[in-house]
Amino acid sequence: MSATRKDLGHSGLKVASVGLGCMNFGLMCDQARATAIVDAALEAGVDFFDVADIYGGPAGKAEALLGKALGARRAQIVLATKFGAKLGGRGGAADQGGSREYIVKALEDSLTRLGTDYVDLYQHHFPDSATPIEETLRALDDLVRSGKVRHIGCSNYSGDQLRAAAVAARTAGLKAFVSAQNRYSLLQRGIEKDLVPIAQGQQVGIIPYFPLESGLLSGKYRRGEKPPPDTRFGKWGGGGGFVSEERWAIVERLQAYGESIGRSVLELAMGWLVAQPYVATVIAGVTRPEQITQNVRAASWSPTPEELERIGAIAGGG
C-alpha cells in the first residue's frame, strides 16, 4: 500500500495524493506522537508534509516537532509551510503579513524551527489586502532565486485573488503560485465555482484542507451518539461548527450508498477528492499513526465515473 502520485500544479514536482497535515502537532500530539505519525506516513509512501508558522500552541511548535521528527529524512519529502496568518488561531491575515519585511523574517524563523535551509513550498496563508500583491510576489521571487524556497503557493485566496496574482506575476516576470490550499470536501464545495476554474486555467494545483471536515467524514461518528473521549469531537464536546442536521443527513446518505457498493464513508470522501483532476494532494490532519495509514488506504480506491457522479450528487453542491 502506498499513495499514488500527482502533479503539484506546474511546479514539475509529483507528490503523493495523500499528504500529512501537521496542525495537530503541539496541540494534540507531543514529540513522541508526532514522530510516530511521521514514521507511519513515510512508511505509507506519504511525501508531502504541510505545516504553518502559527501551528502548535504556542505558535511555531508544530514546525519544531515536525523538523525533529523528520531529522535526516528531510530531503526525502516535499516540505510545505505557510506564513502571514494571525496568531492565536483566529484566522485571517496578519498585519502586513504579505509585506517583504514580514515574509523574509517569517521564512528565517520557519527554517530555524524546521531545521532546514530550504522549503519546498512556501504558502501565503491568508491574502493581505493592505499589501500590493506584486510586493508579496517580488519578495517570494527573491526567496526562490536565493534557493531558500523552491516553489510558492497561496491559501484561502478567492478565484479573483488568484487571477490577480497570476496576472501580476506574468506582467512583472515573477514566479507564480503553483498551488492553492483551500477548504474543500464533499460537504464544502464552494471553490468549485470560484477558485477551481481559475486554478485550472493557471495550472495551479488545489490542496484541500479539512477534507474530512475534522472527522465528520471519517465514519467514526454517529448522530446522537456520544463521541469517543480521545477524539476531536470528544475533546470539543461535539463537532462544533462542523456539524448540523443537514450535514448529518448527508453523511448518513453517503454511508448508505457506501454500504451498497462495499465502501466506507472515509473511502468515499478521500477517493472522490483524489479523483478530481485539479487536486494535487489531500492533506488530512491526524492524531494517531494508524489514521494516516487508513487515509492512504482509503484514497487508493478509484471510483468509477458513475460512482463519482453518484457520490457528488448525494453530497450536493453546498
Q: Which residues are catalytic?
A: 55
Secondary structure of residue 230 in the 3-state scheme: coil
Cβ contacts of 186 within 8 Å, gap of 6 or more? 217, 250, 254, 268, 269, 272, 273, 311, 312, 315
Give the Cβ contact number of residue 120 at 10 Å. 21
d(CA 311, CA 301): 14
H helix or E strand, kind and range, residue 50: strand 48-50
Task: Please confirm whether the linkage preceding 303 is cis (ω < 30° from 0).
Answer: no
H helix or E strand, kind and range, residue 66: helix 61-70
d(CA 184, CA 179): 14
d(CA 140, CA 135): 9
- Which residue's C-alpha cell is 535526516? 72
d(CA 41, CA 28): 17
d(CA 272, CA 113): 35
Name the residue among 95, 77, 76 with its Cα closest to residue 86: 95
Size of the chain, expressed as the number of residues it contains: 318
Looking only at Cα atoms, what is the longest distance across the chain?
A: 56
Judge residue 72's burial from the number of C-beta atoms within 10 Å of its C-beta, 0-12 exposed, 13-18 middle, 19 or more buried.
exposed
Give the amino acid at 218.
S
